[in-house]
């Protein structure tokens, strides 16, 4: 099972509690500065960013996390990020997050697509569309 992108609070050292949201090639964003740095890195490298706004308590977020990590490994030409809406509340609000998970697709810092919900086929479809649109003609 995948886990949402956040650290579990408490003293328990139960590794079963930790579902890796930032496994594979998924980058964990913990600050607004970190977000800006990743976006500028993606622009510099010509990469499209897929940003997953999720929460550790969110069942659908935990369910799709391993799939998101797999996608990050299959598509190294894209930058996969995860933002914990509870850790970056104000920042997440600025993106008008109404439900988790919400995936944003960004090119040169601009939104090119969006997906709300843990819909694996739709996420795969949107990633394929982004890859096709970025492919040289």
Closest CA to 105 of 45, 35, 50, 64: 50
The sheet carrying 78-84 orders its strands as 26-29, 78-84, 48-54, 102-107, 110-116
58-102, pLDDT tens digit by residue?
Answer: 999 999 999 999 999 999 999 999 999 999 999 999 999 999 999
Annotation says 61 is catalytic? yes
Annotation says 69 is catalytic? no
What are the DSSP calls for the chain, one per residue?
----SSPPPSS---GGG---SS-TTEEEE-SHHHHHHHHHHHHHHTPEEEEEEE-TT-HHHHHHHHHHHHHHHH-TTEEEEEEETTTTHHHHHHTT--SSSEEEEEETTEEEEEEES--HHHHHHHHHHHHHHHS--
Residue 5: per-residue pLDDT: 39
Does residue 121 have a cis bond before it (omega within 30 degrees)?
no
Residue matched to tokens 């886990």: 3
14-70, pLDDT tens digit by residue?
Answer: 333 344 566 778 999 999 999 999 999 999 999 999 999 999 999 999 999 999 999
Catalytic residue among 29, 51, 58, 64: 58
Catalytic residue among 23, 42, 51, 61: 61
């Amino acid at each position: 099972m995948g886990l949402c992108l956040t650290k579990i609070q408490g003293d328990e050292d139960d590794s079963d509690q930790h579902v890796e949201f930032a496994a594979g090639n998924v980058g964990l964003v913990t600050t607004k500065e970190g977000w800006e740095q990743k976006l500028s890195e993606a622009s510099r490298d010509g990469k499209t960013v897929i940003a997953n706004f999720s929460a550790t308590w969110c069942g659908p977020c935990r369910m799709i996390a391993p799939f998101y990590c797999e996608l990050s490994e299959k598509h190294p030409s894209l930058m996969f990020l995860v933002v914990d809406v509870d850790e970056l509340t104000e920042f997440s609000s600025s993106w008008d997050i109404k439900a988790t998970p919400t995936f944003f697709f960004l090119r040169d810092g601009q939104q090119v697509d969006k997906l709300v919900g843990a819909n694996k086929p739709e996420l795969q479809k949107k990633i394929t569309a982004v890859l096709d649109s970025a492919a040289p003609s």
